[in-house]
Structure 1
Amino acid sequence: MAATSGAGRPEKRKAIARAATAVFGREGYARASMDAIAAEAGVSKRTVYNHFADKETLFLSVALESSGELAEKIRDLLDRHLGRIVDLRQDLTDFAVDRARAVLSAGDHGALGRAIRAEVANIPADVLEAWLEASPVASLRDLAERFEALAGRGLLVVDDPAPAAEQFTLLTFHGVAERSFWGAVPVPEEEVGRIAALGVDAFLKIYGAPAAG
């Protein structure tokens, strides 16, 4: 993969990145063209190439930026809901609901994620791996670390936090994600809450600490 050029003004680079996020999300990786991205950004194709050496480099840049922003949002939600436990079931449910909202209402960034999932076979393997590491994998790792800390406090019984984080995500999030086609179709708030609560109850049946006494 060619290196990204550092030439050009930062504001132009940001405009190109915003345009690329919209075009890749709308057209997908294979169909999107540098001409379309240039038109969306209101710049010449030469200007796009002054900032990004090729389409793969541009796609990787916007995919990693999008993933990093989402991972940071989820990290903040973990701190807010699971940093100080008041009611474990409620705190886990609140986190699950807010995570679903964050992921599924991400606008152009969400559309980019849908395009990536729909076009896995067309996206270069190194780009796909980097995107996975930047957000889905990173967020699971952050959640696993939080579960390990909760287990250390006696609030959960977790031998291996990595599969616990995966199972929590499957139980509380993927039902909403699939029903909404990863944010393309709205899901009523009460349904998001219902799925989250049922998932948390199932999770705590597996990993919840035994009641005292």
Structure 2
Amino acid sequence: MIPVIAPDIGSLRGHAAKRLSILDAAAHVFCREGYGGANIDMVAMEAGVSRQTIYNHHGDKEKLFLAVVREVTERINAGIFDTLSTFPDKPGDLHADLTAFGIRMVRNCICSRDGRFLRKLIQSEGDRYPELFATWLKDGPGRTWSALAARFARLALAGHLQLDDPDLAARQFLALVRVDLEMGMMLGVTPTESELQTSASAAVTTFLRAYARADRP
């Protein structure tokens, strides 16, 4: 019988930690230099490893960039789906409950460290390297829109909303809750709690004017 050798847990953890350290360093470099200006040597210096280590873990610059976007997208998705679990499926006050939910979405997902990083990267590099963000579009916003649309569809089924296209409603809701904050966030300004409240309340008012049932107050 061939003996079964248990994996070295410490070694696996060390490998994973080094991989995340490289990705974090690469995120800083790509954000600071842009995709075109960054190179493997800069990432190696930032991470405190050799360039060969980066090649061993991630391959060339394009594969490293894609790994960074994938890692950040997964972390953002974790925050988004955690927040989606607080969606008001059985609202007592539809306006107030959707406003509170909108605030949580902006604070936990759009204003998070990862959200700010990805927004800056897309703004600076999205038009020059759209192919690098194709996976992000499918696995990031694509999943969020679908999950939120399903929740709005349930609200409509329960009689709270009147929707012909839940997917469109989901995209419009997300656009509305962030539109008044977008300019400041592009400049790196984190909105205050008062600004979050005002923006989300106005967004929900507009949203319900379009989608609230006519027989509901």
TM-score band, normalised by shorter chain: 0.7 to 0.9
Structure 1: 5+ residue runs without aligned partners?
1-7
Instruction: Write the distance in 1 (CA, Å) between the matches of 2:58 and 2:40.
Output: 10
Would you say how many aligned residue pairs link Structure 1 and Structure 2? Answer: 204
Q: Is the 8 A contact 1:22 1:112 kept in 2?
A: no
Q: How does 1:136-175 map to 2 (within 5 A)?
A: 136-175=141-180
In structure 1, the partner of 2:10 is none
Match of 1:73 among 72, 79, 86: 79
In structure 1, the partner of 2:207 is 203
In structure 2, the partner of 1:31 is 37
Show CA shifts across 1:71-115 (max 9, x none): 221222121132442322111111111111123432255223311
Instruction: Write the distance in 1 (CA, Å) between the matches of 2:64 and 2:23.
Output: 8
Residue 195 of structure 1 aligns with an amino acid whose one-letter code is S
Residue 150 of structure 2 aligns with an amino acid whose one-letter code is E
What is the TM-score normalised by the length of structure 1? 0.88
Which region of structure 1 is more displaced relative to structure 2, 51-60 or 95-104?
95-104
Instruction: Write the distance in 2 (CA, Å) between the matches of 1:85 and 1:178.
Output: 31
Summarize the Cα distance change of 1:108–1:42 in structure 2 as closer, same or farther, 3 Å threshold. farther
Q: Is the 8 A contact 2:109 2:115 kept in 1?
A: no
Q: Is the 8 A contact 2:89 2:154 kept in 1?
A: no
Q: SS of 1:101's equivalent? A: helix
Instruction: Write the distance in 1 (CA, Å) between the matches of 2:93 and 2:69.
Output: 36
Instruction: Write the distance in 1 (CA, Å) between the matches of 2:204 and 2:216.
Output: 20
Q: SS of 1:122's equivalent? A: coil
Identity score, percent: 36
Instruction: Write the distance in 2 (CA, Å) between the matches of 1:173 and 1:108.
Output: 16
What is the TM-score normalised by the length of structure 2? 0.86
Structure 1 residue 52: deviation in Å? 0.9
Summarize the Cα distance change of 1:11–1:71 in structure 2 as closer, same or farther, 3 Å threshold. closer
Structure 1 residue 210: deviation in Å? 2.8
Q: How does 1:57-136 map to 2 (within 5 A)?
A: 57-107=63-113, 110-123=116-129, 125=131, 127-136=132-141
Q: Is the 8 A contact 2:79 2:108 kept in 1?
A: yes
Match of 2:193 among 178, 189, 192: 189
Which region of structure 1 is more displaced relative to structure 2, 113-122 or 40-49?
113-122
Instruction: Write the distance in 2 (CA, Å) between the matches of 1:22 and 1:195.
Output: 30
Structure 2: 5+ residue runs without aligned partners?
1-13
Instruction: Write the distance in 1 (CA, Å) between the matches of 2:152 and 2:31.
Output: 33
Q: Is the 8 A contact 2:44 2:50 kept in 1?
A: yes
Q: Is the 8 A contact 1:144 1:164 kept in 2?
A: yes
Structure 1 residue 212: deviation in Å? 5.0
Bigger CA radius of gyration: 2
Runs (4+) of structure 1 exceeding 6 A deviation are none
Instruction: Write the distance in 2 (CA, Å) between the matches of 1:212 and 1:116.
Output: 40
Show CA shifts across 1:124-160 (max 9, x none): 51x2110111212221111111111111111111111
